[in-house]
Amino acid sequence: QSALTQPPSASGSPGQSVTISCTGTSSDVGAYNYVSWYQQHPGKAPKLMIYEVTKRPSGVPDRFSGSKSGNTASLTVSGLQAEDEADYYCSSFGGRNNLIFGGGTKLTVL
């Protein structure tokens, strides 16, 4: 199975909202509500931000939200803050006891 497709970059000014897409197929993203989003700052381990498409782990600000339509999932960051500048990765259960990651999106806060 191929990697999920994410835009390589996204940007927004402080206080604005930005949405990052994650496109898979009817065998992965479209088939299961098992999409997760991770934030990774340079030199650090990834951090879980969204799981099961829309759910936020404890401690993740409600500025982060997730959604899905068909084979495409999305992460929206509202009220952008400087500390949101990072790489973001989506992942999906692939249906064959495997995980598939997206290529990653570099979010820049202008």
Partner 1 sequence: EVQLLESGGGLVQPGGSLRLSCAASGFTFSSYGLSWTRQAPGKGLEWVSLIYGDTGGTYYADSVRGRFTISRDTSKNMLYLHMNSLRADDTAVYYCARFGSGYSLDQWGQGTLVTVSS
For partner 1, the binding residues (CB under 8 A) are 3, 32-34, 36, 38, 40, 45-48, 51-52, 55, 57, 89, 91-93, 96-104
**Cβ-based nearer residue to partner 1, 15 or 52:** 52
What is the C-alpha separation between 20 and 30, in angstroms, rounded? 17
The minimum distance between CB 26 and partner 1, in angstroms, equals 17
For residue 35, the number of C-alpha atoms closer than 13 Å in the C-beta half-sphere is 30
The minimum distance between CB 104 and partner 1, in angstroms, equals 4
The minimum distance between CB 107 and partner 1, in angstroms, equals 14
Cβ atoms of 101 and 24 within 8 Å: the answer is no
Q: 10 Å Cβ neighbour count for 12? A: 19
**Cβ-based nearer residue to partner 1, 40 or 76:** 40
**Cβ-based nearer residue to partner 1, 12 or 51:** 51
For residue 98, the number of C-alpha atoms closer than 13 Å in the C-beta half-sphere is 10
Q: What is the DSSP letter of 82?
A: G
